[in-house]
Structure 1
Amino acid sequence: MTYTTGPRNLITDVSGLTVGNAQDETLKSGSTVLLGDVPFTASVHVMGGGPGTRETDLLAPDKTVQQVDALVLSGGSAFGLDACSGVADALRDAGRGFAVGNVTVPIVPGAIVFDLINGGDKAWGANPYPDLGRAAYNAAGVDFAIGTAGAGTGAMAARQKGGLGSASVVLPDGTTVGALVVVNALGSVTTPGDRHFWAAPFEMGDEFGGFGPDPHVAYTTPDPSLKEQAMGLHAAKGANTTIAIVATDAPLTKTQCHRLAVNAHDGMARAIVPSHTPLDGDLVFGVSTGTGAPLDVAGYAPVGAAAATCLSRAIARAVYAATPAAGDLIPTYGAAS
């Protein structure tokens, strides 16, 4: 069977979705929003030990709300959750939201990474994240930057700068699956030596360099963390998370979106070593924009498998696309490899 990327190799190859980024280079942080042309079905699965989230409880399969208006990924730790408020305010201004009597309440779940000790100036007078959320909303489109952009602006993995990544795949039946991720992991995205990506077996074309799998390494614990050396061991141990969204235009139920998120965690584990630690807040949102009768179990299986592969690729692309900036504590992939 032949698999291809979508035309952009971004999550916005999934019909009905747009993405917006906003960042502040002095702050070394930013926010990213995923919007739907109309509300979309969503769920979430958390496997890390230290998540930071907003409104994720309502995404459980047994909860009443079936669809959301947007999802937000942000830097800023707990302060960054206010990016969701900026997006919610913008959606309210646009007349979008869950109808309750004569008012509408936008449903905007979100998740954050810790980037408060990354060399940026965090001495703000007022929390900047509501404005970053609104700016990301205003910037939303089908084309967007990856690497040092949006919520990935100040991200760091173990041995290189992290960043914002995305990837897509089109299945033989025309179904599209995409991933969007912020890589700020305790673990490493590259094998010892920093040239080869753990995700190399899943690369399509040369989307993150085309160097292939590492022929000289056993898949064991990678080299010591530059992140820990730069930030101090104690600080770095509390400053990790990889947060992601996987999406498809296949018609899925909310329960199937939850399963999509569960499947995608396999892709995270293939691309980051180690992942899902007690010191990471790793989570994945699962999204469907499809309409009509939901897929049966057999029809769903290849979609879930594609979500895992897409997320692995998006993680590698995030690190590969990161660019250097003044005040960086650790090098980019290009400088480190």
Structure 2
Amino acid sequence: MQTGPRNLITDIAGLKVGNAQDDAIKTGSTVLLSDGPFTCGVSIMGGAPGTRETDLLAPDKTVQQVDALVLSGGSAFGLDAASAVADELRAQGRGYGVGDQVVPIVPAAILFDLLNGGTKTWAQNPYRALGARAFAAAGETFALGSVGAGTGATLASHKGGLGSASMVLPSGHTVGALVAVNALGDASPDGAHFWAAPWEIGDEFGAAGCLRTAPGTLPATKLDARNTTIAIVATDAQLTQAQCTRMATAAHDGMARALVPSHTPHDGDLVFALSTDARAMGDPQADTLWLGHAAATCLARAIARGVYHARPAPGDVRPCFQPG
């Protein structure tokens, strides 16, 4: 397996990602856009999710495609970032047509970063402005770590962050992942190695290798409700909404490989999965299987990359994996 040229989700043609953050609040928002509407599904396995328009993504619902996806900090306040993105899309004439109106479909998910040392005494919800700024910043290249929705993210032992990774399959299809890592558990058993190490490509998160832990050893946790890892996996393979939903479900394996523990009652762990429908599948049965595997692998790598690239800031409540 090999990565795409950027090792980012934007290695899938037509996708763009924008980030905006407020370093005083220690929070931010991330927007994923495409050249046109895309097919999308979702799988939620955490016990405490915060979402917008995810019910619409079930395969039996009327709308089969969406116009953008938003990941945001801010708990329930962060859902307002998607409202700004919907406004921007509507101004461009993009959305689901209803009579002479268009209604942009912008599903969103949030993580809890309200107790991370930032200043949260705002008089007006800041997330609409963050969503608008992230929309305006969207491009094919973007930074990882303490940016966008990953700005104020934390783990049990370290800062979290925004991560991304990609993979090109032998079939020619590209798969990518984008994730804001803010878990109850940890991405590293000892502060030097990553749980995701078996799936690392090259030295994308340090090449420290694997570490075996003693049987029965309990991992570190925050043991509270200040959590949630939210992700997007994407492909250029032509998938139905049901197949996207299956890919989202498979991608959760990558979350479990990279974060220990994961899918807890105190995490709202969620994965969106999208298809740009650009490349037909040669063998639908085999290709669908390997797309799910690639989505899980990319997500595990993206999680480690997000933590690896986090950078320190004044007032942090957790150290960075890479100090200094």
- Shorter chain as normaliser: what TM range? over 0.9
Distance between the aligned counterparts of 2:255 and 2:96, measured in 1?
A: 32
What one-letter code is carried by the residue in structure 2 that aligns with 1:262? T
Residue 299 (structure 1) shift: 2.1
Match of 2:274 in 1: 287
Distance between the aligned counterparts of 1:221 and 1:308, measured in 2?
A: 25
Q: Tell me, yes or no, if the aligned pair for 1:269 and 1:275 is still in contact at 8 Å.
A: yes
Distance between the aligned counterparts of 1:221 and 1:103, measured in 2?
A: 57
Distance between the aligned counterparts of 2:267 and 2:49, measured in 1?
A: 7
Which of 299, 303, 306 is the matching residue for 1:311? 299
Tell me the SS of whatever aligns to 1:133.
helix
| Aligned sequence identity (%) | 65
Match of 2:290 in 1: 302
Match of 1:73 in 2: 71
Match of 1:112 in 2: 110
Distance between the aligned counterparts of 1:272 and 1:224, measured in 2?
A: 11
Distance between the aligned counterparts of 1:297 and 1:132, measured in 2?
A: 41
Which of 184, 198, 202 is the matching residue for 1:205? 202
Instruction: Tell whether 2:271 aligns with 1:273.
Output: no
Residue 95 (structure 1) shift: 1.2
The one-character-per-residue Cα deviations of 1:228-282 (angstroms, maximum 9, x if unpaired) are 4xxxx6xxx1111000000000111100000000000000000000000011000
Q: How does 1:1-337 map to 2 (within 5 A)?
A: 3-191=1-189, 193-214=190-211, 216-218=212-214, 220-225=216-221, 228=222, 237-291=224-278, 296-335=284-323
What one-letter code is carried by the residue in structure 2 that aligns with 1:121? T
What one-letter code is carried by the residue in structure 2 that aligns with 1:264? A
Residue 97 (structure 1) shift: 0.7
Structure 1 stretches of 4+ moved >3 Å: 218-225, 291-295
The one-character-per-residue Cα deviations of 1:180-214 (angstroms, maximum 9, x if unpaired) are 000000011001x2111000000000000000111
TM-score (norm 2): 0.97
Distance between the aligned counterparts of 1:68 and 1:147, measured in 2?
A: 27
List runs of 5+ in structure 1 lacking aligned partners.
none
Tell me the SS of whatever aligns to 2:67.
strand
What one-letter code is carried by the residue in structure 1 that aligns with 2:104? P
TM-score (norm 1): 0.93
Distance between the aligned counterparts of 1:224 and 1:303, measured in 2?
A: 32
Q: CA RMSD in A?
A: 1.4
Q: Tell me, yes or no, if the aligned pair for 1:221 and 1:273 is still in contact at 8 Å.
A: no
Distance between the aligned counterparts of 1:209 and 1:203, measured in 2?
A: 9
Kindly tell me: are residues 39 and 222 of structure 1, through their superposed partners in 2, closer, same or farther at Cα, counting changes over 3 Å?
Answer: same
Tell me the SS of whatever aligns to 1:71.
strand
Q: Tell me, yes or no, if the aligned pair for 2:185 and 2:220 is still in contact at 8 Å.
A: no
Residue 219 (structure 1) shift: 6.3
What one-letter code is carried by the residue in structure 2 that aligns with 1:258? T
Residue 224 (structure 1) shift: 3.5
What one-letter code is carried by the residue in structure 2 that aligns with 1:268? M
List runs of 5+ in structure 2 lacking aligned partners.
none
Q: Tell me, yes or no, if the aligned pair for 1:221 and 1:274 is still in contact at 8 Å.
A: no
The one-character-per-residue Cα deviations of 1:94-114 (angstroms, maximum 9, x if unpaired) are 111111100110000000000
Distance between the aligned counterparts of 1:181 and 1:222, measured in 2?
A: 25
Distance between the aligned counterparts of 1:85 and 1:301, measured in 2?
A: 35
Q: Tell me, yes or no, if the aligned pair for 1:163 and 1:183 is still in contact at 8 Å.
A: yes
What one-letter code is carried by the residue in structure 1 that aligns with 2:178? L
Kindly tell me: are residues 299 and 219 of structure 1, through their superposed partners in 2, closer, same or farther at Cα, counting changes over 3 Å?
Answer: farther
Tell me the SS of whatever aligns to 1:241.
coil
The one-character-per-residue Cα deviations of 1:110-136 (angstroms, maximum 9, x if unpaired) are 000000010001111110101100110
Tell me the SS of whatever aligns to 1:40.
strand
Residue 174 (structure 1) shift: 1.5
Kindly tell me: are residues 127 and 219 of structure 1, through their superposed partners in 2, closer, same or farther at Cα, counting changes over 3 Å?
Answer: farther
